[in-house]
Amino acid sequence: MPYLDWSQCPAVESIPGKVSGAWLLRGTRTPAKVVFENIEAGMTIDEVIEQFPVSREEIDSLMSFVAQSLDRDPSFD
């Protein structure tokens, strides 16, 4: 999987000192990583929305960013 530059994703933010500077869904304390871990573990997007203070639009934006990154040619630095 190519490296993702999360700073380019409008759905997330990283604030030093807030949840250890993790990439969070903007305006929440929910790490983007938690969304992916729970979906990987079998939760549906609706279940993620029920468990965490996130909206479908935020998750859609997050997923769209990841999907678009897969369309880019890999960079081998």
What's the domain count of the chain? 1
Top pLDDT among 4 and 6 is at 6
Q: Is residue 75 part of a domain?
A: no
pLDDT in tens, 11-68: 999 999 999 999 999 999 999 999 999 999 999 999 999 999 999 999 999 999 999 8
Q: Which domain holds residue 30?
A: 6-70
Q: Is residue 77 part of a domain?
A: no
Please state, in angstroms and rounded to a whole number, the distance separating the CA atoms of residues 53 and 34.
Answer: 12
Under a CB-based contact definition with an 8 Å cutoff, are residues 59 and 49 in contact?
yes
Q: State the pLDDT confidence band at 75, using cuts at 50, 70 and 90.
A: low
Top pLDDT among 77 and 73 is at 73
Q: What CATH number corresponds to the domain at position 52?
A: 1.10.10
